[in-house]
Amino acid sequence: MLYREAGQFKTTYAEDMAIFPIRQDRIALAILLGIAFIGVPLLADFDIWPFGSDYLLRAILLPFLILALAAIGVNILVGYCGQITLGSGAFMAIGAYSAYKFGTGVHIPLAWLGFAISIPPLPVPTSILLGGLMAAIAGILFGIPSLRIKGLYLAVATLAAQFFFDWVFLRVPWFTNYAPSGSVNAPALNFFGLHVGTPIERYLLCLIFVTVFAVLAKNLVRGNLGRQWMAIRDMDIAAELIGIRPLYAKLTAFAVSSFIIGVAGALWAFVYLGSWEPLAFSIDRSLQLLFMVIIGGLGSIMGSFVGAAFILILPIMLNLIPTQLGVPLSTETITHLEFIIFGSLICYLLIKEPHGFARLISIGKEKLRLWPFPY
Q: Is 324 in the site for another protein (CB under 8 A)?
A: yes
Q: Do the bridges between strand 115-119 and strand 184-185 make them parallel or antiparallel, or are there none, so unpaired?
A: unpaired
Q: Which is nearer to another protein, 234 or 284 (CB)?
A: 284
Q: Is 321 in the site for another protein (CB under 8 A)?
A: yes
Task: Report the candidate in 175, 127, 130, 73 with the shortest Cα–Cα distance to residue 271.
Answer: 127
Q: Is 320 in the site for another protein (CB under 8 A)?
A: yes
Site string for another protein, 59-78 (x = CB under 8 A): xx--x---------------
Site string for another protein, 297-316 (x = CB under 8 A): -------------------x
For another protein, the binding residue among 5, 15, 38, 55 (CB under 8 A) is 55
For another protein, the binding residue among 43, 334, 341, 346 (CB under 8 A) is 334
Q: Which is nearer to another protein, 51 or 254 (CB)?
A: 51
- Minimum distance from CB of 150 to another protein (Å)? 30
- Tallying the residues shown for the chain, one arrives at 375
CA distance 167 to 177: 16
Give counts: helices (H), strands (E), the chain: 16, 6
Task: Count the Cβ atoms, other than its own, within 10 Å of residue 91.
Answer: 37
CA distance 37 to 295: 26
Q: Give yes or no for a contact between 280 and 64, defined as CB atoms under 8 angstroms apart.
A: no
For another protein, the binding residue among 27, 28, 45, 50 (CB under 8 A) is 50
Question: Which H or E element spans position 362?
Answer: helix 356-370
Q: What is the chain's alpha carbon radius of gyration, rounded to the nearest angstrom?
A: 22
Q: Is 219 in the site for another protein (CB under 8 A)?
A: no
CA distance 165 to 94: 8
Task: Report the candidate in 36, 39, 87 with the shortest Cα–Cα distance to residue 62.
Answer: 36
Q: Is 124 in the site for another protein (CB under 8 A)?
A: no
Q: Give yes or no for a contact between 301 and 260, defined as CB atoms under 8 angstroms apart.
A: no
- Minimum distance from CB of 21 to another protein (Å)? 34
Q: Is 287 in the site for another protein (CB under 8 A)?
A: no
Task: Name which of residues 157 to 176 contact another protein (CB under 8 A).
Answer: 170
- Minimum distance from CB of 91 to another protein (Å)? 18
Q: Is 193 in the site for another protein (CB under 8 A)?
A: no
Q: Is 120 in the site for another protein (CB under 8 A)?
A: no
Q: Is 151 in the site for another protein (CB under 8 A)?
A: no
Piece in contact with another protein (CB under 8 A), picked from 58-66, 80-88, 154-162, 241-249: 58-66
Q: Dihedral of CA 157/163/164/169: which sign?
A: positive
CA distance 348 to 364: 19
Q: Give yes or no for a contact between 195 and 188, defined as CB atoms under 8 angstroms apart.
A: yes
Q: Is 243 in the site for another protein (CB under 8 A)?
A: no
Q: Which is nearer to another protein, 56 or 81 (CB)?
A: 56
Q: Which is nearer to another protein, 53 or 219 (CB)?
A: 53
Q: Is 274 in the site for another protein (CB under 8 A)?
A: yes
Q: Give yes or no for a contact between 372 and 1, defined as CB atoms under 8 angstroms apart.
A: yes
The residues, any chain, with a CB within 8 Å of residue 153's CB and separated by 6 or more, are none
Q: Is 180 in the site for another protein (CB under 8 A)?
A: yes
Binding residues (CB under 8 A) for another protein: these are 49-50, 53-56, 58-60, 63, 170, 180-183, 185, 187-188, 197, 273-277, 279-280, 282, 316-317, 319-321, 323-325, 330-332, 334-336
